[in-house]
DNA sequence: TCCTACGATGGACAGAGTCCAAGTCAATAA
DNA sequence: TTATTGACTTGGACTCTGTCCATCGTAGGA
């Protein structure tokens, strides 16, 4: 059983075959699937699963903090199961592939007080852009 | 005439009343309008302007590098006329207001070679999140 | 085993954006 | 100034992504 699934059971998540399949599809590293892609893979294992259920389940996983929403291109949101470890993303401008990366240092350090306009700044998301080895 | 408009004329951009209005709407600092908002403001000055034309014109301004697309919330893209000066964004998690900010240092410096997975990294977009003075 | 509240379903709907055929017009040439 | 023409504009249909809701089904406790 996957890590994610184990944690969800530990939280008393009501388990159904649909939820199990969605959680299984979202296992692994560098996984950044759109809701439609999650649905497509879920359907292979459970042909009757509906689009609504996938959306509901993804939304719940996000609320629980187990999965993060990533939108690197203004198109469909992507779902990243690696939400517990803070990380950023490196995106290929050619093919769109996404890698999880762990920059060094505190990203908030680069924003001096006079650039904060009185905001209480709590976090930063960084999207690095470039070309992957195949596209370069 | 606005800066933007002047530069466009200098590039030999074919000028029409529609394009002029869109360029005028997109003038100023800390402007981050959605395509629909641009259209709404353009209609006040030129009631017949169509949604398609606004989309076409915005797309072209982005291609020319005069305007940047910003998507901070996975909803509608926003258009930022301040594209020539590199900057990042500070977004209020409460009301969604966006400020342009200029962090110090090179954002790419935080990504060590072993975290680049062979990519040729060319840029980074940073979205700082927090609460604005009104929402705090 | 039975109940029932929670979850799943699917179809309608909404928001954002793209595409295209047809009509219009800015800019150039004569 | 007028004619010409290729670029621009229009509006409607369409796609994609996501949300909502009434109804049905079922996991898990009694």
C-alpha span between A47 and A39 (Å, rounded): 10
C-alpha span between A99 and A31 (Å, rounded): 8
How high is the pLDDT of residue B29? 81
The residue ranges of every structural domain in chain B are: 3-80, 88-130
**pLDDT 10s digits, A16-54:** 999 999 999 999 888 999 999 999 999 999 999 999 999
Find the mean pLDDT for residues B104-108. Answer: 94
B51-63 and B35-45 helices cross at what angle (nearest 10)?
Answer: 120
Is A3-80 a domain of CATH 3.60.21.10? Answer: no
Q: Which of B86, B17, B10, B93 lies closest to B50, judged by CA? A: B17
Tokens of residue A15, six digits: 């388990």
C-alpha span between A80 and B40 (Å, rounded): 36
How high is the pLDDT of residue B69? 95
C-alpha span between A94 and A134 (Å, rounded): 9
| Token pair 């159904």: residue | A16
Q: Do B121 and A105 make contact, defined as CB atoms within 8 angstroms?
A: no
**What does chain A come to in residues?**
136
Residue B57 to chain A, least CA–CA distance (Å):
18
Query: Stated in angstroms, how far is B76 CA from D9 C1'?
Result: 23
How high is the pLDDT of residue B1? 54
**pLDDT 10s digits, B52-72:** 999 999 999 999 999 999 998
The answer to whether residue A65 neighbours chain B at the CB level (below 8 Å) is no
Q: Which residues touch B86 (CB under 8 Å, ≥6 apart)?
A: none
The backbone torsions φ and ψ at residue B118, rounded to the nearest 5 degrees and listed phi first, read: 80, 0
C-alpha span between B126 and A71 (Å, rounded): 13
User: What is the rounded average pLDDT for all residues in chain B?
Assistant: 93
> Which nucleotide's C1' atom has the smallest distance to the CA of A42?
C8
| Chain B neighbors of A122, CB-CB under 8 A | 93, 129-131
Q: Do B128 and A105 make contact, defined as CB atoms within 8 angstroms?
A: no
How high is the pLDDT of residue B49? 97
Q: What percent of chain B shows pLDDT beyond 90?
A: 79
Q: Do A93 and B122 make contact, defined as CB atoms within 8 angstroms?
A: yes
DSSP state of B15: P
| Token pair 């072993």: residue | B114
B35-45 and B17-25 helices cross at what angle (nearest 10)?
Answer: 120
C-alpha span between A132 and A111 (Å, rounded): 29
How high is the pLDDT of residue B16? 96
Residue B3 has pLDDT above 70, yes or no: yes
Q: Are B87 and B100 in contact (CB under 8 A)?
A: yes
C-alpha span between A10 and A135 (Å, rounded): 42
What are the angstrom distances between the C-alpha of B87 and each of A5, A111, A123, A127, B64?
41, 11, 17, 14, 18
DSSP state of A30: S
How high is the pLDDT of residue A1? 54
Least confident interval from B17-21, B81-85, B118-122: B81-85
Least confident interval from A5-9, A23-27, B131-135: A5-9
Residue A79 has pLDDT above 80, yes or no: yes
Least confident interval from B9-18, B87-96, B97-106: B9-18
Residue A2 has pLDDT above 90, yes or no: no
How high is the pLDDT of residue A15? 94
More confident call, B73 vs B128? B128
The model's confidence at residue B5, banded by pLDDT at 50, 70 and 90, is confident
Tokens of residue B15, six digits: 């000028």
Residue A133 has pLDDT above 80, yes or no: yes
């Amino acid at each position: 059983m996957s890590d994610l699934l184990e944690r969800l059971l530990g939280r008393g998540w009501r388990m159904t075959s649909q939820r199990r399949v969605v959680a299984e599809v979202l296992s692994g590293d560098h996984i950044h699937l759109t809701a439609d892609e999650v649905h497509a893979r879920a359907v292979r294992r459970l042909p009757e699963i509906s689009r609504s259920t996938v959306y509901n389940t993804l939304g719940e996983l996000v609320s629980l903090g187990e999965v993060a929403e990533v939108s690197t291109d203004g198109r469909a949101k992507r779902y990243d199961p690696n939400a517990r470890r803070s990380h950023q993303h490196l995106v290929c401008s050619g093919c769109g592939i996404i890698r999880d990366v762990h920059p060094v240092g505190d990203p908030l350090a680069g924003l001096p007080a006079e650039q904060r306009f009185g905001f209480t700044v709590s976090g930063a998301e960084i999207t690095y852009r470039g070309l992957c080895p195949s596209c370069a």
